[in-house]
Chains A and B, each alone.
Chain A
Amino acid sequence: AQSVTQPDIHITVSEGASLELRCNYSYGATPYLFWYVQSPGQGLQLLLKYFSGDTLVQGIKGFEAEFKRSQSSFNLRKPSVHWSDAAEYFCAVGAQGGGGNKLTFGTGTQLKVEL
């Protein structure tokens, strides 16, 4: 069964500092990987996705993530954090093929940005 681990429950960074959120997955084949962001009281917004090809993917709001098969990781990065980035971030893995619409989510990382 697929699983996702986000080891950091809370992260605090200063505005303008760089950010890296960790994500490790477990899946038997090549996974589909996603990062979603959730602001308080809101649904989930897709930041970026990896299906195949270039292992460094660019997303919205200046985020990027790198797929590393050898480490089973898909860490999210941003070179300079803005106060509006404060939110909860979820990494998710989806199965290829017929089960492609079922995502397994990590427990989330709550990001706090200090001004």
Chain B
Amino acid sequence: KAGVTQTPRYLIKTRGQQVTLSCSPISGHRSVSWYQQTPGQGLQFLFEYFSETQRNKGNFPGRFSGRQFSNSRSEMNVSTLELGDSALYLCASREQGANTGELFFGEGSRLTVL
């Protein structure tokens, strides 16, 4: 089975722009979560989607949004980018019914905001 795939792997944006990141979960996984990783704040939970519905949301401003499609692929969007949004954005998926928190992570999308 292929792992969690995230695109793009690297991108550079300027302040005020918006960005969309994509995540394809492991085949058969219907839950997708997003995490932001920065040197200062560490790994922080953004949101979780299951069957196209947002189930959990972390403590991030409304500029951060996401969605999930019927094929379980997910996208996250950050609007009006700020310098502090520079981070590694990690997507993770888990098996349906595996309500044990075990997540499988992708390699991340590294966003640099100039």
A interface, CB within 8 angstroms of B: 32, 34, 36, 41-46, 49, 51, 90, 92, 94-108
Q: Number of B residues contacting the other chain (C-beta, 8 Å)?
A: 25
Task: Please name all residues of chain B whose beta carbon is closer than 8 Å to the beta carbon of A100 when the two chains form the complex.
Answer: 99-101
Task: Please name all residues of chain A whose beta carbon is closer than 8 Å to the beta carbon of B4 when the two chains form the complex.
Answer: 43
B90 touches which of A44, A98, A102 (Cβ 8 Å): A44
Within B2-54, the residues touching A (CB, 8 Å) are 4, 31, 33, 35, 42-43, 45, 48, 50
Task: Please name all residues of chain A whose beta carbon is closer than 8 Å to the beta carbon of B105 when the two chains form the complex.
Answer: 36, 43-45
Bound CA span A49–B104, Å? 13
Q: In the complex, are the beta carbons of B102 and A34 less than 8 A apart?
A: yes
A101 touches which of B90, B101, B106, B108 (Cβ 8 Å): B101
Which 8 pairs across A and B sit closest by C-beta, in order of nearness?
A94-B101, A43-B105, A105-B43, A100-B99, A44-B105, A43-B107, A100-B101, A32-B101
Interface centre among A44, A49, A96 (most CB of B within 10 A): A44
Residue of B nearest to A49 (CB): B102
| 19 pairs from A and B in contact (CB 8 Å cutoff) | A32-B101, A42-B108, A43-B106, A43-B108, A44-B103, A46-B102, A46-B104, A90-B43, A94-B100, A95-B101, A96-B99, A97-B99, A98-B55, A101-B48, A101-B101, A102-B56, A102-B58, A103-B45, A107-B42
Task: Please name all residues of chain A whose beta carbon is closer than 8 Å to the beta carbon of B48 when the two chains form the complex.
Answer: 101-102
Q: How far is the CB of A2 from chain B (nearest CB, A)?
A: 11
Q: In the complex, are the beta carbons of A104 and B45 less than 8 A apart?
A: yes
Task: Please name all residues of chain A whose beta carbon is closer than 8 Å to the beta carbon of B103 when the two chains form the complex.
Answer: 44, 46, 101, 103
- Residue B94 interfacial (CB < 8 Å): yes
